[in-house]
Amino acid sequence: MTDVAPRAAAFFDLDRTLIAGSSAYAFARAAGGAGLISHRQLARGAWANVRFRLRGSTDADTDALRERVLRSLAGVRVIDAMRLAPRLLDRLLPRLHEDVLALAHAHQDAGRPIYIVTAASQEVAELLASVLHFDGGVGSRSEVRDGAYTGRPEGPFIYREGKAQAVRELAAREGLDLEASFAYSDSESDLPLLGAVGHPVAVNPDSALARVARAEGWQVVRADHLGRRLAATATVAALAAGAAVVNRGVRRS
């Protein structure tokens, strides 16, 4: 019997790395539309999302967001949350950073398994991993009793050192070589994750991560999301259509 050599892999943070903005807020919008959370909870999430998109998140922001999400889910049936998938994907897929997704699929084509690793819920991580044809997703878990969420966490928070530890455990289970692996993130909070692999990559980095990336000579990726490109394309198309109408009017006069 011969030993199988460890494989390299690629690990992708979700919020502001693989997608623009906050997946938690996208989930809140979907849940609010289905009547699973209140308008007040949704309004609080909207303000947090604005701050997150403008300047990223602090540890305190992230902890507070986790608590809000957990509390808002207390008593919600798991099946009802899972049925939000179409609404959630409708909000998340236009925010994909297509350039980053292309990088992920290039790793996969080169024989490296690819994973979403996120502080967001395990359910969101698994949903997107399935739809985007990743090899797996790792997220934070919520406690479930009698088919409904209790509003309490279950297991470690996949954030900061917790995210790096989750990757180390995944690597041990799957026989992955972390020194040969890649990790992608936007945030200083993911320095433990980036430091756990041999090839860290900063994606649209916040100021703190940008400083570290420059000092360490890490690769930096700048990416835009699909929704913004679609909006820009629609604007160009509208301007072109307007110009055509004007030109027709000029020709007729």
- Distance between CA atoms of residues 35 and 13, nearest Å: 29
Residue of 15, 186, 190, 206 marked active site: 15
Q: Where are the alpha helices (DSSP H) in the chain?
A: 23-33, 39-55, 59-73, 78-82, 85-92, 98-109, 122-131, 161-174, 191-195, 207-216, 226-252
C-alpha to C-alpha distances, 124 to 42, 86, 196, nearest whole angstrom: 18, 12, 24
Name, in order, each residue with C-beta under 8 angstroms of 216's C-beta and a sequence gap of 6 or more: 200
Residue of 3, 13, 90, 190 marked active site: 13
43 Cα distance to chain centroid: 21
Least Cα distance to 176 among 11, 56, 2 occurs for: 11
Note if 146 is an active site residue.
no
Burial of 110 (0-12, 13-18, 19+ CB in 10 A): exposed
- Distance between CA atoms of residues 163 and 191, nearest Å: 10
Long-range residue pairs from 226-230, CB within 8 A, at least 24 positions apart, any chain: 226/93, 226/94, 226/95, 226/96, 226/97, 226/98, 227/20, 227/94, 227/95, 228/20, 229/98, 230/94
Note if 13 is an active site residue.
yes
CB atoms within 10 A of CB 233: 10
Active-site residues: which are they? Answer: 13, 15
